[in-house]
Amino acid sequence: MDKPTLCLLVVAMAAPCITGAKLVKGQQSVPRPTMTTEGLISDKLWPGGVVPFVFSKAYSREDQARQLVLKAMAGFENSTCIRFVPRTTEKDFVIINSGIMKSCSAYIGNQHLGSQQILLNPASCFPNGNIGVAQHQLMHTLGFGHEQSRSDRDQFVDINWSNVAQANDSFPLSTEDTTFGEPYDFDSIMHAGMFENAIDKSIWTVRPKEKYRDKVIGQSIQLSGTDIRKINKMYKCPGHALPVPVTTADTKPDLLRKTRNSA
Ligand SMILES: *[C@@H]1O[C@H](CO)[C@@H](O)[C@H](O)[C@H]1NC(C)=O
Ligand SMILES: *[C@@H]1O[C@H](CO)[C@@H](O)[C@H](O)[C@H]1NC(C)=O
Ligand SMILES: *[C@@H]1O[C@H](CO)[C@@H](O)[C@H](O)[C@H]1NC(C)=O
């Protein structure tokens, strides 16, 4: 196992859907201090948007999970210039590993460690066969933190601190985020669900403010339109038109197709 630098390891925050909440919630590991940038720049990027990867030995026995990881990667490649490529001789690369304690976790950005792990436990990180939790972790790997850590989050969500476990480490507020001029995105795959890190798991910890009460947070199905735009901005993806804000999941496939065709 790598000895991860504590402050750079982001654990789980599996962003459960309302329906998937129970499934994912019980399986999260203890949160650790997180780096509080929402999107970080320059020295933590993967050159050319290319992320070399290998599967660990343990993972090579997990055929179904392996297919889901590849599908999660393909979801980035469909709409951004990011490419996940099997590692050959690249110095920095990621190892997809199954980890212990049912963890789903990743470092934020390219740590220049040589190898760095993404932990995706096959039994807990693909609830209902969804790839969203894996995409959440892959998006950490690309250099993004949590949406609810944005420095402006207090305008958009309330946090019920008295119900937050490890209050000092949960929901840190970023002081130096790079939001790429994108609006706060309740629909981000990087946004926590309502019961994230709850002490009493029947009571919310984070929820949209009154005037945004119709918003749903914690989707773990797919990248949002804004997630895609931010990735394209962070990696200066050439030829990737940036789709206009997407608000409903239904319109995404169309937009993505258009984006590709016009690229
Ligand atoms: C990516 O695009 C292909 C081809 O259009 C599609 O079959 C596949 O479902 C897409 N994958 C994801 C994860 O969005
Ligand atoms: C916040 O959580 C506490 C439990 O710690 C609960 O009693 C309280 O009702 C919650 N606040 C709101 C506004 O729901
Ligand atoms: C949390 O932070 C407060 C104030 O910074 C500090 O007094 C307290 O000891 C911390 N608690 C833990 C468990 O670290």
The verdict on whether residue 191 carries a ligand-binding annotation is no
What is the DSSP-derived secondary structure letter of residue 136?
H
In this structure, are residues 235 and 257 in contact, taking their beta carbons and an 8 Å threshold? no
pLDDT at 247 over 50: no
Q: Is 87 in the pocket of ligand 1 (CB under 6 A)?
A: no
The verdict on whether residue 146 carries a ligand-binding annotation is yes
Helix %, strand %, coil % of the chain (to 5): 30, 15, 55
In this structure, are residues 99 and 119 in contact, taking their beta carbons and an 8 Å threshold? yes
Q: What is the structure's pLDDT at 16? A: 29
Q: Could you tell me the end-to-end alpha-carbon distance of the chain, in angstroms, rounded to an integer?
A: 41
Q: Is 263 in the pocket of ligand 1 (CB under 6 A)?
A: no
pLDDT at 59 over 70: yes
pLDDT in tens, 7-27: 233 433 333 222 222 222 222
Which of 157, 163, 196 should be mutated for ligand 2, with most atoms under 8 A from CB?
163
Look up residue 42 and give its amino acid: S
Spans of all domains in the chain: 1-263
Residue nearest to atom 2 of ligand 1 (CA): 78
Residue 232 pLDDT grade (very low, low, confident, very high; cuts 50, 70, 90): very high
Q: Which one of the ligands is nearest to 205 CA?
A: 2
Q: What is the structure's pLDDT at 163? A: 97
Mean pLDDT within 155-175: 90
Mean pLDDT within 255-259: 34
220 C-alpha vs ligand 2 centroid, how far in Å? 25
* Angular region, 213: left φ>0, alpha ψ -120 to 50, beta rest: alpha
111 Cβ contact list (under 8 Å, min separation 6): 5, 8, 44, 92
CATH of 1-263, one of 3.40.390.10, 2.60.40.1220, 3.90.180.10, 3.40.50.300: 3.40.390.10
Mean pLDDT within 176-187: 86
pLDDT in tens, 101-140: 778 999 989 999 999 999 999 999 999 999 999 999 999 9
Quickly count: other Cβ atoms within 10 Å of residue 183's Cβ: 10
Atom of ligand 2 at shortest distance to CA of 203? 2
Q: Which helix (H) or strand (E) holds 227?
A: helix 225-234
